Amino acid sequence: MDVLLVDDHALFRDGLALLLSQHDSETQVHTCTTVAEALKYAEDHEDLDLALLDYNLPDGNGLALLKELKGILPATPIAMLSGEEDPTLIQNSLNAGASGFITKTSTSDVMLSAVSLIMNGGMYIPPAILAQQAPVAQPAVTSAGIEPTNITADNASPNMAPQSRQDYQLTERQKDVLREMVKGLSNKEIAKELNMSPSTVKVHVAAILRELEVKNRTQVVALAQQQGLCDD
């Protein structure tokens, strides 16, 4: 798994990069400290599996970076990192296409659970915000931590307006890719499973997002499950 981590706080950045690498020996963490560096890296590496963005950066903020990265990496889940638990900031991040919002005060176990949830097509929101009943999409939360959950039309982004199933025009290969996405596989895993290059998978994923008229991988999975698009 290739992860882009954008944060200008060296201690936190290096600590999180080490945590992710130690948790999974196949994880490669690429770090940047500014918006400009992150955009340049993303343009040169469009097969990233995950991006984690600090909200406060020296040359801009993570929310603006999120919006630009969604254009470069339309199929890559992106999560925001922040020391703040501001419901408005969280809602704005989710509306902009973020797959989660992870607070820097979280324990290492919570951070790993959040990343796992996001990579499996879920959405992570701090439990403290859920307790305040903030108006955001809510994943399942248990005393044991965060559990992956199916996002339905009731709790998905209000920007997702599902069409009827017969309106979607997906090729057979796109349907194959969609099935693997629903399983929670990354682009690289899908490429291996379907015997195609990661760049080809990325093209198919982008086409699926356009056809389903959704913004990110989380919404693709939610809509596919809701409409039964993989039941054929």
Q: Minimal CA–CA distance to 182: which of 146, 130, 232?
A: 232
Question: How wide is the angle at C-alpha 99 spanned by C-alphas 170 and 54, nearest 5°?
Answer: 135
Give the other-Cβ count within 10 Å of 35's Cβ: 20
Q: pLDDT (tens digit, 9 = 90+) per residue, 138-159?
A: 443 322 343 333 333 334 343 4
Interhelix angle 10-23/108-119, nearest 10 degrees? 60
The least confident of 4-8, 30-34, 190-194 is 190-194
Can you list the alpha helix ranges (DSSP code H) found in the chain? 10-23, 35-44, 62-72, 87-95, 108-119, 127-131, 172-182, 187-194, 198-212, 217-227
Count of CA atoms in the C-beta half-sphere (13 A) of 145: 14
Topology adopted by domain 165-227: Arc Repressor Mutant, subunit A (1.10.10)
Q: Are 81 and 62 in contact (CB under 8 A)?
A: yes
Average pLDDT estimate for 52-73: 92
CATH 2.60.40.1170 fits 2-147, yes or no: no
Tens-place pLDDT, residues 95-117: 888 989 999 999 999 999 889 88
Residues of the chain with CATH 3.40.50.2300: 2-147
Place of tokens 């080809």: 200
pTM score of the predicted model:
0.64
Q: Where in the chain is the domain with CATH 1.10.10.10?
A: 165-227
Beta bridge partners of 50: 3
